[in-house]
Structure 1
Amino acid sequence: MTKPAVLITGASTGIGATYADRFARRGHDLVLVARDEARLQTLASQLTDQTGVAVDILPADLTRADQLAVVEARLRDDDHIGALVNNAGIGLAGGFADQAIDAIDRLIALNITAVTRLAAAAAPRLAARGEGAIINIGSVVGLAPEFGMTAYGATKAFVLFLSQGLALELGPKGVYVQAVLPAATQTELWDRAGVDEAAQPPMMQVGAMVDAALAGFDAREGVTIPPLHDGDLWDAFQAARRSMLPGFSAIVPAPRYVA
């Protein structure tokens, strides 16, 4: 049987380009999305030459509604696409009080709005078909306000929640949803965000991160955290969170809030 094609955003470099390489080597045709058309074309030619898969490029700035709409339409209409890798994202240097609101708005547009709209474009078709996958690239920062990346971390917390909610909704319909939460990974994101990479602690290599994420994908994990060596900690976190759920239905305030 023909393997489904994979649409990957932010595919011109870093994590997205590495996902493209790995899926091509697994025999999947690709649709690569990014702003840099020249880089996309170079990558597409390399992957076709090396693996023989068909690679389409779709240059787009996902912070622009008109260009985002083109990618949405491709996801809605192309029955050959069976998986979406929602990877495109940006960071932002500095503290929240020092960041320009226009920069925060662009961060939200790419890290939240585009991720949501592309998932929404793919989900109905995949659910109707009864199979498919959505991979959303989040970050451990979405679990750690202590890291001080407030706006960025908030967008990645959204990605995690969206992924977990979609997994509950779409999983019974045959669609697998995975959230991948990398820690610091050696990509161009740091330079583009205005962060001095040399001043940062050692980072995971992008190939190791993506290979770990794909191991989680093959195991059908709901949440994959490549740098977390003790997986029992995530299981305990989830168990503690779920243990609170019955209390959320109480109709009177907790005694500690009653004078």
Structure 2
Amino acid sequence: MSTASKGTALITGASAGIGAVYADRLIKRGYDLILVARNEKLLKEVAAKIAVPGRTVTTLVADLANKESLKQVEKVLREDASITLLVNNAGVGSVASILKDNVEEMDAMIALNITALTRLTYAVAPAFVARGTGTIVNISSVVGIAVEMLNGVYSASKSYVLSFGHTLQRDLADKGVRIQSVLPGATATDFWDVAGYAPQKEGANTMRATDLVDAALAGLDKGELVTIPGLQDADAQDWTQWEEGRRAISKKFSHAKPGARYGV
């Protein structure tokens, strides 16, 4: 367990699941914490459970889907010079098709999964650049690639997080700011209760949240830009090839004339 302070980590969605595990692991690594979530009771329970002598834990009750509440967290990220790490973990999902889901619920999902994550990143990035150091961890999902697996809006929101991470790496890497995009697969958290498929928590291929976070932090230590804990070593080259293929084809899109196959 580290005793030297590594600064402060602000973790969203920290009252349970992946966020709560990040809180436990990061405080043991020497970070002070700011834990953000809607449920004050659960936040305080997490704070009490993970307490470590010499480290401070602050709880900040905020609904990140609410603009005014979100602005409070943005203000903290802009003004608290002790913050060295942002973990954008808060999110919500669904397994329902477009014919069964409520569009207002989908709008709220976009507000949390995309808008809040974006605004928090925009709040902290200039502060990190000014100090020449800082780390942003964005929790995406494997459905950001395997987009047909769950609800379309959820998958699209996680594709956004992955794409956003790539551009953050382009813009910030040479300014001392580290970016990591983490792509969990099915993980045993209450996410599935909210998403509408609680049995997935007990699935044979469902990962424990502790294993997920430990792997994600190991990936961060290794300098990975994208960490996919569930991708086994024998298949890791498939991700490398997919990324290389994506970057290669992106150079072939811009031409003054359509392809001959269109007969234009």
Quickly name the TM-score band, shorter chain normalised.
over 0.9
AA partner of residue 20 (structure 1): A
Moved over 6 A (4+): none
Aligned partner of residue 73 in structure 1, secondary structure = helix
Residue 240, structure 1, aligned to residue 241, structure 2: no
Aligned partner of residue 181 in structure 2, secondary structure = strand
Q: Is the 8 A contact 1:24 1:51 kept in 2?
A: no
Change over 3 Å in CA distance of 1:24–1:148 after alignment to 2: closer
Deviates most, 20-29 or 246-255? 246-255
Counterpart among 13, 16, 27 of residue 13 in structure 1: 16
Aligned partner of residue 147 in structure 1, secondary structure = coil
Post-superposition offset of 1:160: 0.3
Post-superposition offset of 1:149: 2.2
Q: If the length of structure 1 is used for normalisation, what is the TM-score? A: 0.96
Aligned counterpart, 2:44: 41
Change over 3 Å in CA distance of 1:243–1:64 after alignment to 2: same
Aligned counterpart, 1:220: 223
Post-superposition offset of 1:245: 2.4
What percent of counterpart residues are identical?
46
Q: Map Cα deviations across residues 205-254 of structure 1 (whole Å, 9 max, x no partner).
A: 00000000001111111100000112111100011111112212222111
Counterpart among 131, 154, 157 of residue 152 in structure 1: 154
Q: Is the 8 A contact 2:186 2:200 kept in 1?
A: no
Counterpart among 63, 70, 73 of residue 68 in structure 1: 70
Aligned partner of residue 128 in structure 1, secondary structure = helix
Within 5 A, what are the aligned runs for 1:1-259?
Answer: 2-48=5-51, 50-197=52-199, 201-202=203-204, 203-229=206-232, 230-259=235-264
Length, aligned pairs only: 258
AA partner of residue 83 (structure 2): I
Change over 3 Å in CA distance of 1:191–1:51 after alignment to 2: farther
Aligned partner of residue 96 in structure 1, secondary structure = coil
**Gaps in structure 1 of 5+ consecutive residues:** none
Q: Is the 8 A contact 2:188 2:209 kept in 1?
A: yes
Post-superposition offset of 1:95: 0.7
Q: If the length of structure 2 is used for normalisation, what is the TM-score? A: 0.94
Q: Is the 8 A contact 2:192 2:200 kept in 1?
A: no
Q: Is the 8 A contact 1:47 1:53 kept in 2?
A: no
Q: Is the 8 A contact 1:179 1:224 kept in 2?
A: yes
AA partner of residue 82 (structure 2): H
> CA–CA distance in 2 between the matches of 1:176 and 1:214?
13
**Gaps in structure 2 of 5+ consecutive residues:** none
